[in-house]
């Protein structure tokens, strides 16, 4: 089995000691025995610098491969994850700058590039970054059918669910349950079309959140080969299983506070256009 975290944010932008954090991130990858991680920084948080910082510090005994991704941002503030097998940033530098394309123009551009892939990213997140806020549900389903690469699981609201389920199951069921379920597992919304390529990820912004991942079934002797890992990842015939880890209540509370602070910082960067200063 191949273990892949399909969505990890290095979150290095405001780090006081980047080298120390990069080493800790790499050590966590090895600790959790991850074969590959899709390094996916937001376009407004220096994605190029973040990817190369992790790429350059890799001891020979570390097996974890890095797949070059960027979470692009459209003019509507929709998040779209773009990736390729090989490093693609120099060939498409405009994708690293926020708000260069509308959603439709962005996917048209990507579809015209043979080496690029894109994923329908956290389609039901309760913010403008999610597609459901911008288009009718049937159109969203048609986009998923056409693109085939769909995020069906996102760990980012798991701590929220743990905390509110524990504090009040009744309140959680009445107010949050349906929406959180949709965020965490949009596969439950009967999107059972053929040739769907399932992606699932931690969406971790902090080292302690690294662990939830996707397991891919492949031949044992191919497990350490980057090309085989990538081909297995994008092939709809690959059997895959979502592995989810959940925190205890106390850890979930602390994580929820920390991640809420991160969300606020990211909101401020976008709202105040600070990405114009931070841009790679």
What's the pLDDT tens digit per position in 245-257? Answer: 888 889 889 988 9
pLDDT given for residue 198 in this prediction: 67
The superfamily in CATH containing domain 2-278 is: Metal-dependent hydrolases (3.20.20.140)
187 contacts: CB under 8 Å, gap ≥ 6: 152, 153, 198
CA 147 – CA 195 distance, rounded (Å): 10
CA 129 – CA 74 distance, rounded (Å): 9
Mean pLDDT of 171-185: 62
pLDDT given for residue 190 in this prediction: 42
pLDDT band at 224 (very low <50, low <70, confident <90, very high): low
CA 139 – CA 87 distance, rounded (Å): 32
What's the pLDDT tens digit per position in 48-75? Answer: 999 999 998 887 778 899 999 899 999 9
CA 1 – CA 11 distance, rounded (Å): 28
Average pLDDT over the chain, rounded to an integer? 84
pLDDT given for residue 189 in this prediction: 47
pTM, rounded to two decimals: 0.86
By percentage, how much of the chain surpasses pLDDT 70? 85
pLDDT band at 42 (very low <50, low <70, confident <90, very high): very high
pLDDT band at 223 (very low <50, low <70, confident <90, very high): low
SS3 41: strand
Mean pLDDT of 263-279: 88
pLDDT given for residue 124 in this prediction: 78
What's the pLDDT tens digit per position in 94-150? Answer: 999 999 999 999 999 999 999 999 998 888 777 888 888 898 878 888 888 888 888
CA 28 – CA 14 distance, rounded (Å): 20
Residue with more model confidence, 209 or 20: 20
**Which of 81, 85, 89 has its CA nearest to residue 228?**
85
Place of tokens 């080292």: 207
Cα–Cα distances in angstroms (integers) from residue 72 to residues 11, 89, 113, in the given order:
15, 12, 16
**Sequence-ordered strand ranges (E) for 53-130:** 65-73, 79-83, 117-119
């Amino acid at each position: 089995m191949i273990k892949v975290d399909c969505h990890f944010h290095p979150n290095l932008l405001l780090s006081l000691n980047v080298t120390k954090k990069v080493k800790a991130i790499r050590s966590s990858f090895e600790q959790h025995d991850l074969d590959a991680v899709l390094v996916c920084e937001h376009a407004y948080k220096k994605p190029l610098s973040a990817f190369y910082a992790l790429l350059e510090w890799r001891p020979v005994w570390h097996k974890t491969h890095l797949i070059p991704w960027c979470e692009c941002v459209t003019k509507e503030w929709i998040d779209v994850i773009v990736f390729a097998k090989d490093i693609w940033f120099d060939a498409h530098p405009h994708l690293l700058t926020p708000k260069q394309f509308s959603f439709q123009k962005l996917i048209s551009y990507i579809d015209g590039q043979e080496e690029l892939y894109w994923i329908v990213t956290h389609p039901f997140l309760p913010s403008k970054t999610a597609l459901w806020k911008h288009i009718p549900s049937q159109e969203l389903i048609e986009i998923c059918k056409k693109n085939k690469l769909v995020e069906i699981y996102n760990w980012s609201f798991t701590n929220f669910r743990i905390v509110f389920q524990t504090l009040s199951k009744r309140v959680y069921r009445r107010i949050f349950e349906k929406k959180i379920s949709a965020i965490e597992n949009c596969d439950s919304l009967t999107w059972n079309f053929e040739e769907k390529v399932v992606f699932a990820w931690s969406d971790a912004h902090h080292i302690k959140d690294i662990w939830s991942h996707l397991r891919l079934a492949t031949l044992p002797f191919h497990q350490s080969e980057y090309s085989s890992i990538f081909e297995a990842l994008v092939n709809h015939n690959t059997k895959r299983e979502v592995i989810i880890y959940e925190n205890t209540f106390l850890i979930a509370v602390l994580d929820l506070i920390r991640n809420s602070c991160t969300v606020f910082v990211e909101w401020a960067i976008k709202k105040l256009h600070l990405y114009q200063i931070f841009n790679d």
